A and B are shown apart, each in its own frame.
Chain A
Amino acid sequence: MAKLIASTGNEAVANAMRLANPDVCSAYPITPATEIMHNFASYAANGEVTTEMLLAESEHSAMSACIGAAAAGGRVVTATSSQGLALMWETLFIASGMRLPIVIAVCNRALSAPVNIGCDHSDSMGTRDCGWIQLYSENSQEAFDNMLQAFRIAEHTDVRLPIMVCLDGFITSHSIESMHWMDDAAARAFVGDYQQVNPLLDIGHPVSYGQLALSDMYMEYRKAHEQVMAKVPGIVREVAGEFKRISGRSYDLFESYRLDDAEIGIVVMSSAAGTTKDIIDHYREKGIKAGLLKPRLYRPFPYDEIARALQHLKAVAVLDRSDSFGSSFGPLYLDICGALSCSAQRPVLINKIFGLGGRDYMPEQGEQVLDELQNIAQGAPVRAAKEYIGVREAAC
């Protein structure tokens, strides 16, 4: 039976991997994702999964082996963070271009230099255009639930794309939270068996993977990839519907929190959304109509749905946990702007960069943002389209 337990995000992710019983797990250690592999390796060592472990000599080889293993014809998982994901970058495009449903857990962590092991989203944001599906998780429960659903989404025969499940490094990966475990049999039945599509190991039907496509063919492959991506939101919702029936927990492309009648709102991903919900409750008690939108499916980005959810607001702040350097805006802000670009009526949008390299996101930061939005909604001019919050000004 499903029971309430205390678990870290990493334990939750490893447990979801156990339930999916992948055929191959290929990985390389990196903080803060390492613990996922500690737990999973012990499942393999104790016969709780039938997985073959491939402990590679780098993340580049870990993902390269995931590609070989997935093309061979079976379920494949891995996990990484930060520099590890950056080192995989080249092969991420290859995994998606070959349409291989590899599942990776990413414990979001800052990138060097300066070296830092704390949470921010620079790593997975740097891979947002690699043709992978990306899901973001607020807490351990969501990390667990997203992992289980990830296999279904990626391996769906209409999709067959790799998927990245992101959780905040340390904040979620290492914090113990109460969460609902799932009954093993129910979870296993939900994930189901892996379906092979053109496996390399089918020697009777030899196939060539990773061919050269010249200018007469390449663009058609890219368009086909884009068209498959367009099918993903529908499949994500279908899988979420099925997941609700066995778990009672609801998931969608994004979460709307007190947004329907809101006048001002914050868009923020992952663990910071939890803190922000508390702040919003506090402002609602004061009679201020504040709401929140928390993206879950970030790639493909559900532009139309998000535009519909936000267009009625007067002012919105997008909080990015990574930056796009060059006097540009954070990646999430740019996507929200893109989503609203075709709406006749749209809110004033401002961008805040927060929580880089493990800097805590404190309630005061969210409160200041809401106060600023409240002023803008009442007609005050925008002071700064983009600014860093929670930063030591004198040091800069």
Chain B
Amino acid sequence: MLTPLNLKDLSKQPELFAPGHRMCTGCGAPIVVKMVMMAAQHPLVVANATGCLEVSTSIAEATSWKTPWIHNAFENAAATIAGVETMYRSLKKQGKISDDIRFIAFGGDGGTADIGFQSLSGAMERGHDMTYICYDNGAYMNTGIQRSSATPFGAETATSPVGSESRGKPQQRKDLTRIMAAHGIPYVAQASPGHWQDLMKKVRKALDIRGPKFINIIAPCNRGWRTQTDDAILLSRLAVETCYWPLFEVEDGVTRITSAPREKKPLTEFLKPQGRFKHMFQPGNEWMLVEAQEHVDTCWERLQREQAMDVEQDKRK
């Protein structure tokens, strides 16, 4: 049975992710990590892919992690935590350990959707009892804002610059959440720190389910998105309200939108405050805004259809 989230209780909980780390001012990732760690009700062991989060929280000989923590390399956080979890099962089977531990891996979108994708897919298929959390800031921010497969259409990055022959990233982003759902694992979700209750509920639920789980969480990056340092939460809310980043979960194959916006805002409200999309608002580039909006509409409609189909099927049962 899941314990409901209560702000008063949460405020008394010890923080497992210590302050004093060196993430940038206004970064969305540490907010995500704090929420994830706070939602946990069991002891955790954490693996971390190479990335902003890893380099900024583990500068020898200090650490921000009050839980056991391991960083192996860029592309293997899933395989690493799978190894830890396998040792846990072995020692548990042999009666050498009695603790009831949960296993989490954190990776950015580059470490998850690109270079770490094989390792993630393999770990999910093998069925390890682990929760993989992708904090998606939509580019390789740690190495200086290069495009990743999660970078949205049109975004300007250091490797998809705007120039006389280029209008930012020409491709749409890879829909990692749906790809993970296609693995047929027990739980997949998409969350946003702007909806803290929804996010923490999903984490709590994931950690309560046995087997492989995946949660994709949007994490605004003011350096890469070219935005103000105090708007991470505002942007993570706008991402949801424009349906750029819908909040949903796929539990045992059943898709459910967990929080739909009362009124779907135009995508431009999410794009406009971000310098990386500035060129899309210039005369002659109107087609880019149309294309970006059409893609969001298509994905949102498909998600709603999937939910409706699952509800229909449920009724028939």
Q: Which residues of A contact B (CB under 8 A)?
A: 23-24, 26, 50-52, 54-58, 60-62, 64-74, 76, 90-91, 94, 200-203, 206-214, 217
Contacts and interface: CB of A to CB of B under 8 A. Distances in A.
A206 B69 CA distance: 7
Interface of B: 43, 45, 47, 54-55, 58-61, 63, 65-73, 75-76, 78-91, 93-94, 97, 99, 101, 118-119, 121-123, 125-126
Contact of B70 (A58, A71, A74): A71
B87 A24 contact: yes
Contact of B86 (A26, A200, A210, A217): A26
B261 to A, nearest CB: 38
B58 A64 contact: no
Contacts, number: 165
B63 A69 contact: no
Contact of B83 (A68, A211, A217): A68
Given A23-B94, A64-B80, A74-B87, A57 B125 contact: yes
Given A56-B82, A68-B83, 18 more contacts: A23-B87, A26-B86, A51-B90, A54-B126, A57-B119, A61-B118, A67-B70, A68-B80, A68-B84, A72-B84, A72-B87, A74-B91, A94-B72, A206-B68, A208-B63, A208-B69, A211-B58, A213-B59
B212 to A, nearest CB: 13
Contacts of A64: 72-73, 76, 79-80, 83, 119
Given A201-B45, A210-B70, A212-B55, A71 B84 contact: yes
Contacts of B70: 67-68, 71, 200, 208-210
Most buried by B among A55, A72, A76, A203: A72
20 contacts: A52-B93, A54-B83, A57-B119, A58-B118, A60-B79, A61-B76, A61-B122, A64-B79, A65-B80, A68-B72, A68-B87, A94-B72, A200-B69, A201-B88, A203-B43, A208-B65, A209-B69, A211-B58, A217-B60, A217-B61
Given A64-B119, A65-B80, A201 B87 contact: yes
B185 to A, nearest CB: 15
A71 B121 CA distance: 22
Contacts of A57: 118-119, 121-122, 125
Contacts of B94: 23, 50
Nearest to B97: A201
Contacts of B97: 201
Given A52-B93, A74-B91, A214-B59, A201 B72 contact: no
Nearest to A91: B73
Q: Which 9 A-B pairs give the minimum distances between C-beta atoms?
A: A68-B83, A57-B122, A65-B83, A72-B87, A64-B76, A210-B71, A61-B79, A64-B79, A69-B83
Nearest to A209: B70
A61 B75 CA distance: 9
B87 A212 contact: no
A206 B66 contact: yes
Nearest to B71: A210
Contact of B90 (A24, A55, A206, A208): A24
Contacts of B71: 208-211
Nearest to B100: A203
Contacts of B89: 52
Contact of A203 (B60, B75, B99, B123): B99
A213 B125 CA distance: 34
Most buried by A among B65, B79, B81: B79
Most buried by B among A23, A64, A202: A64
Nearest to A202: B68
Given A202-B68, A211-B71, A56 B91 contact: no
Contacts of B72: 64, 67-68, 91, 94, 210
Contacts of A70: 83, 87
Nearest to B45: A200
B76 A211 contact: no
B69 to A, nearest CB: 5
A94 B55 contact: no
A26 B126 CA distance: 12
Nearest to B82: A65
A66 B76 CA distance: 11
A211 to B, nearest CB: 4
A309 B67 CA distance: 51
Given A68-B47, A68-B80, A203-B67, A61 B90 contact: no
Contacts of B85: 68
Contacts of A217: 60-61
A66 B70 CA distance: 13
B97 to A, nearest CB: 6
B66 to A, nearest CB: 6
Given A23-B94, A57-B122, A211-B63, A200 B84 contact: yes
A209 B28 CA distance: 24
A154 B85 CA distance: 23
A203 B61 CA distance: 19
A289 B151 CA distance: 71
Contacts of B79: 56, 60-62, 64-65, 68
B16 to A, nearest CB: 9
Nearest to B83: A68
Contacts of A212: 54-55, 58-60
A72 B59 contact: no
A72 B69 CA distance: 10
Contacts of A71: 70, 83-84
Contacts of A91: 72-73, 76
Nearest to B125: A57
Most buried by A among B70, B99, B125: B70
A68 B48 CA distance: 11
B88 A61 contact: no
Contact of B93 (A26, A50, A73): A50
Nearest to A206: B68
